[in-house]
Structure 1
Amino acid sequence: MPFPHNHPGVSAILLAMVVALQINTSVHGDLATDLATLNHRLTEAAVGTSPPRNAARLVRALSAEGAWPDIDYSDQERTAWAPARHVQQLLALAQTWHFTKDPASLQAALRALDYWCNNTPVCPNWWYNDIGVPLSLYKALLVLDDRTPSQLKQQAVELLKRANPDSPSMTGQNLVWVAEATLGRGCLEQDPELVRRTIERVAQEIHISTQEGIQPDYSFHQHGAQLYSGGYGRGFSLDTPRFAALARGTAFAFSPEKLQLLSDFLLNGQQWMIRGNTFDYSACGREITRPGAGSASPLAEACQHLILAGAPRIDELQTFQARLKQPEATRKLIGHKHFWRSDYTTFHQPEFMASLRMTSNRLLQTELVNSENPIGAFLSDGLTFFYATGDEYRGIFPVWDWRALPGTTEQRLPDPPRVRNGERGENAFAGGVSNGQIGASAMDFTRGSLTARKAWFFFPNTLLCLGTGITDTQAVPVATAIEQSLLQGPVDITTPTESTQAAAGQEITVQGPCTIRHGGLEYSFPSTHPVLLSTRTQAGSWHRINPSRSKAQVELPVFSLTWDHGNQPTGAQYQYLVRGGDPATKGRMPTVLSNTPECQAAWCHESKSFAAAFYSPGNCTIPGIGRLTVDHPCLLLIESSQDEFRIHAAEPTNRPASLTITIQGDTSTHIVLQLPDGPRAGATITATP
């Protein structure tokens, strides 16, 4: 039953609406003016900065009906859908007309638009129908402006309605994409209410979430609890700042709180996953199987958009932007960060960056979607990348041995296993502890019949890697892959008795102890266990890892290091260090205090720090401090300074816990820490006894 007009509830609502309207118009002026401003900015962005180079060829090749003969309009490919090229080329013709005012380009663009509106191929992958095509189509319509006949324009606008930001299935970056197309539709239809609702919908998606989107640790999840900061999250960090810049100074502008969160997402999250112009591949999800994946350069524009929008932390945004534009000339990011919501760690030093991706029963492993990433089952199993410049793995993935991903301990079967969607790690223990500069991560790993306990200690200019309890009940070979990167220059080998150099095309066994130098990094093996070194050329194709891509053979020289554990190992171990190659930055190597299935621990002489992974209650002796005992599984980092020390602790199963730490030295210290629950479960807490 409708309310009568004099109902007090209606009066209150009407009053609120009037007040809101007064606020908007008094601060931002006329909505029509704001809509015109937004339309102008969106059109400028759609036009680009220069005309496309292939326009003349596109005009000549277009048929009288408005189709291109080289496009298969019946294509049913889900990933690289051929008909999508039609709307992309339509946009190129519209852009050419804008710059040149060439009548042939305009007529060709209108013929191509007419063909699409009257034929409208449908892709079996919803993304092209609801996102990919509308994103190109709205831009072409804005650029053509009033040159499009009204009936044809209305047909095209109807197609844009496939992009629906109100759909409950739209979240994260998918929501932002459909909102962009809807924003374009709002400008085309001169509908300020649609524009307002659309921008508000995007703003609502800019929030901290334990579902999809920006996580409490500033990593990014999409398609469930799955790390995607360098994939969907990269798109989100590009497009939401662009919305902020488009809407700045209008009634549609983002609130200061949303701008703060976008700055925090870029600076506390995204920039920690980048070296040079490369976004860490382990954060890219299935996009690692696409040529050109992992480009971080566009984030410089995202920084600029936030600066234009008046976001906070401008000085830091400018530094990040400069680092992306001139990586070698700008001060590098230094520090250590563990993303407890994503079982993911990054470590930045002057000479290199290291990244680590672990697996647990909390997170989905890298997915297989639209046939992309069929053999990437091991991408979450302790994958460890080392970047000096950022180019170490660029384009390597078609020739990779996907059974031997860097940092992983796996069965060496003839073929890598296929990805099974929905898989998670088998254990809860996977986490990290950090003081912002150094830290440690560890994982209790199980894959089928293979078990291992793996730890990584991030000390100044050094990453110490330990493995223990490596056991397989099946009679199959098991190995730990240490590196598999592009071969870049000489490979120097130093043992206690000689110094040699490995030539390209070799596969040799190097007896430990030894140090192997390559690409500005130094890999050290203190035990007598042999290491397999390869500099051979490896072959493959993009099609092998992404069936929509080229079948052409790719051959690349590859540098790889492997620790072989033999057939059906029981309680096997490994120990190696990776450091920057500059002698001036080297100090004493860390001392391994324990490498057992109960405790993996090390002491860093340079920082006077102790780090440990306790898989069960236990104890360990710390040099200069005393005997430490814990009553609960945990990760610890203890900094020692004269007679004082500082304790950092984390719960690696991401559950709340009470942790009691006892240190028996010259005096006895007893500390009880309450490890966090909720969104911060797994995060580091700090105490000073």
Structure 2
Amino acid sequence: MNGTEKGVYQGTRWFFNNDDLMKHTPDYHLMINMASVRCDGLESAAFADNYNFYPTDGMTLFQRHGNEYFQIMEGWDVTASPGVTAREGMERLTPVTNWRGYCSRHNFAAGAADGADYAAGGYIFEKMHGADKENVNDKGDRKVKNELLYGFKAYKGYFVLGDYLVALGAGVTNNCPDMEGHIRTTLDQTARVAPVYLWKKGKKTDVAEGSMLLDARKMKDTWVIQEGQFAYQGLPEYQANLYVASESCPAHWAKMNARNKKKSGLPEKVSVLRLWTDHGQSPKNDTYGYTVYLGKDEPARKLPFEVLRNDTLIQAVRSTDKKVVEAVFYPEAPVLKAKGLTLEVSAPCALVLRETDTECYVSVTDARMDATLKEITLVWNGQKIVVPMPQGISCGKSVTVCVKK
């Protein structure tokens, strides 16, 4: 992390023992909470924090003031938690006591961060109850099944390039297509605190209260912007629809946390802005792609990146000046090829490769926290780069090396 002044930090960081990727600047805070079989999820109880089902499912939080979510969470549809791919149907969830929380079945989660403006991360998500892991003696409440939580899979990648987040999804598959409820990926569900409008090349169109469906394939270069907050755009190559809802929602304070029954003066309704893509009832190897601009000024007229690949083997983006490549290599990944680029890795990982005129900075993270893995070798445009992997208690930490071109 880079210090701007004593005690104040900014930049990107991978919290390898929690599966968390973050970026902080004086203007915003970005947090991506991934999941793996290595980490437990957030605790929940039938008497408090009743609906902690989704915080480690790729929840992606965008905050400029710090209270964007806190002030509306009692009006949330938790199955539409920000950044999460989930089956709709909050009304069919029953609160349970679960001290282990929820995680993914897969030993795969990684975030490579250069400590400054760039980061890449991804994980294989297939939800499981944390108490179902091996050698766990605290089973919690297993009488309530909440089956809608399970039975689907997704490969979820995240790429930070300056003030842009690119989120990619691949292999989105519902293995229980007969179960009620569509599979959705939510871009954001945040407080509506300012006017919302569509913006394309300087032209604004107000978004009124209610819901609207945008055909992402016909909305190229169109942003959904909440004034003074953040801007969102679907990538039409990877998703067909983008739903936007600006609505006033009932606030269920006691339902979300029984201890709120003792509180008075709580608002009865909250104003919510929600954006999502709908994968339908029975997606099979579906994809999604969107970008969020976190800066305070207007987004660039042209996206400053290109998506190189988005599937279950590799998810990768590159800056338009071709100086930065970010990628997640899943198991059995082939060589990443694009115009002027070939990149191969010796083990599953996340990486950021940033060029200057004379040097190349490479940040790499082992996606499986393999204690026996001593190094990861990259072959970049024919140049071999060996990156030592941290050992002991630092296993899984992101490493940055500098090599001469």
Aligned-partner SS, 2:212? strand
Partner-residue secondary structure (3-state), 1:549? helix
Tell me if the contact between 1:355 and 1:384 (Cα under 8 Å) persists in the aligned partners.
yes
- Distance (Å, rounded) in 2 between the aligned partners of 1:418 and 1:605: 47
Tell me the equivalent position of 2:257: 546
1:521, CA displacement in angstroms? 1.3
Tell me which moved more, 419-428 or 574-583.
419-428
CA contact (8 A) 2:81 2:189 kept: yes
Instruction: Give me the whole-angstrom Cα distance separating, in 1, the residues matched to 2:50 and 2:171.
Output: 30
CA distance in 2, matches of 1:393, 1:620: 38
Relative to structure 1, is the Cα distance of residues 372 and 607 closer, same or farther in structure 2, using a 3 angstrom cutoff?
Answer: farther
How far 1:497 moved relative to its partner?
12
Query: Higher helix share goes to which structure?
Result: 1
Residue number in structure 1 paired with 2:392: 678
The SS at the match of 1:342 is coil
What is the correspondence of 1:562-577 to structure 2 with a 5 Å cutoff?
Answer: 562-577=276-291
* Residues 420-443 of structure 1: CA deviation (Å, up to 9, x unaligned): 332433111112111101211111
The Cα of 1:399 is off from its aligned counterpart by 0.7
Q: Confirm or deny: 8 A CA contact 1:517 1:581 kept in the other structure.
A: no
Q: Summarize the Cα distance change of 1:536–1:522 in structure 2 as closer, same or farther, 3 Å threshold.
A: same
Instruction: Specify whether residues 466 and 516 from structure 1 end up closer, same or farther in structure 2 by C-alpha distance, changes over 3 A only.
Output: same
Alignment correspondent of 1:618: 334
TM-score normalised to structure 1 length = 0.49
Contact 1:460 1:607 in 2 (8 A): no
Partner residue in 2 for 1:387:
63
Q: 1:584 to 1:523 in 2, by over 3 A?
A: closer
Deviation at 1:565, TM superposition (A): 0.4
Aligned match for 1:449, one of 130, 148, 151: 151
* Greater displacement, 517-526 / 428-437: 517-526
C-alpha separation in 2, matches of 1:586 and 1:651: 36
The residue that corresponds to 1:422 in the other structure is: 100
What stretches of structure 1 of length at least 5 have no aligned partner?
1-267, 273-312, 321-332
Structure possessing the higher relative contact order (Cα contacts under 8 Å, 6 or more residues apart)? 2
SS at match of 1:688: strand
- Whole-angstrom distance in 2 between the partners of 1:510 and 1:638: 35
Within the alignment, does 1:507 sit opposite 2:211 as a pair? yes
Alignment of 1:145-544 (within 5 A): 316-317=6-7, 320=8, 333-369=9-45, 371-413=47-89, 414-416=91-93, 418-419=95-96, 420-423=98-101, 424-437=103-116, 438-447=118-127, 448-475=150-177, 476-494=181-199, 499-504=204-209, 506-512=210-216, 513=219, 514-519=222-227, 520-527=229-236, 529-544=240-255
State the 1:553 CA deviation: 6.7
Q: Deviations over 1:192-242 (max 9, x none)?
A: xxxxxxxxxxxxxxxxxxxxxxxxxxxxxxxxxxxxxxxxxxxxxxxxxxx
What amino acid maps onto 1:316 in structure 2? Answer: K
Indicate how the Cα distance of structure 1 residues 374 and 645 shifts in structure 2: closer, same or farther if over 3 A, else same: same
CA contact (8 A) 1:403 1:415 kept: no
Which one-letter code corresponds to 2:192 in the other structure?
A: L
Higher strand share: 2
Aligned-pair Cα RMSD in Å: 2.5
Tell me the alpha carbon deviations over residues 266-291 of structure 1, each in whole angstroms, 9 at most, x when there is no partner. Answer: xx7xxx9xxxxxxxxxxxxxxxxxxx
Structure 1 residue 533: Cα displacement: 0.6
Superposition TM-score, scaled by structure 2 size: 0.82
Change in 2 beyond 3 A, CA 1:491/1:459: same
Cα drift, residue 335 of structure 1:
0.9
Matched-pair contact (CA < 8 Å) for 1:349–1:461: no
Residue 406 of structure 1 aligns to a residue in which SS? Answer: coil
- Distance between the aligned counterparts of 1:498 and 1:389, measured in 2? 27
Distance in 1, matches of 2:364 and 2:119, equals 10
Q: Which residue type is aligned with residue 80 of structure 2?
A: A
- Pick one of 357, 363, 379 that aligns with 1:662: 379
Distance in 1 between residues matched to 2:207 and 2:362, nearest whole Å: 44
Displacement, 1:651? 0.5
User: Which amino acid letter does the alignment assign opposite residue 652 of structure 1?
Assistant: A
CA contact (8 A) 2:46 2:95 kept: no
Contact 1:433 1:637 in 2 (8 A): yes
SS in 1 for 2:6: helix
Distance in structure 1 (CA, Å) of the matches to 2:200 and 2:242: 12
Identical-pair percentage: 23
* CA drift at 1:573: 0.7
Long gaps (5+) in structure 2: 128-149
Q: Does 1:633 align with 2:358?
A: no
* AA at the equivalent of 1:550: K
Alignment match, 1:18? none
Separation (CA, whole Å) in 2 of partners of 1:678 and 1:686: 18
Asked if the contact 1:440–1:455 (Cα under 8 Å) also holds between the matched residues in 2, the reply is yes
Q: CA deviation at 1:417?
A: 5.5
Shift of residue 494 of structure 1?
3.4
CA gap 1:478/1:497 in 2 versus in 1, 3 angstroms = farther
CA distance in 2, matches of 1:541, 1:647: 47
What amino acid is the match of 2:269?
Answer: E
Q: Tell me the alpha carbon deviations over residues 368-390 of structure 1, each in whole angstroms, 9 at most, x when there is no partner.
A: 24722221111110011111222
C-alpha distance in 2 between matches for 1:620 and 1:673: 18
Are the aligned partners of 1:541 and 1:553 in contact in 2 as well (CA < 8 Å)? no
Q: Look up the SS of the partner of 2:99 in the other structure.
A: coil
Task: Name the CA distance, whole Å, in 1 between partners of 2:303 and 2:267.
Answer: 45
Q: Indicate the SS of the match to 1:398.
A: helix
Query: Larger C-alpha radius of gyration, 1 or 2?
Result: 1
Number of residue equivalences: 359
CA contact (8 A) 1:398 1:554 kept: no
- Asked if 2 retains the 8 angstrom alpha-carbon contact of 1:610 and 1:622, the reply is no
Is the alpha carbon distance of 1:585 and 1:461 closer, same or farther for their aligned partners in structure 2, counting shifts above 3 Å?
farther
Offset of residue 478 of structure 1? 0.1
1:334 Cα deviation from its structure 2 partner: 3.0
Aligned residue for 2:312, secondary structure, equals coil
Q: What CA distance in whole angstroms lies between the structure 1 residues aligned with 2:199 and 2:71?
A: 30
Task: State the shift of 1:547 in Å.
Answer: 1.1
1:473 Cα deviation from its structure 2 partner: 1.3
Q: Deviations over 1:227-271 (max 9, x none)?
A: xxxxxxxxxxxxxxxxxxxxxxxxxxxxxxxxxxxxxxxxx7xxx
Structure 1 distance, partners of 2:272, 2:303, is 30
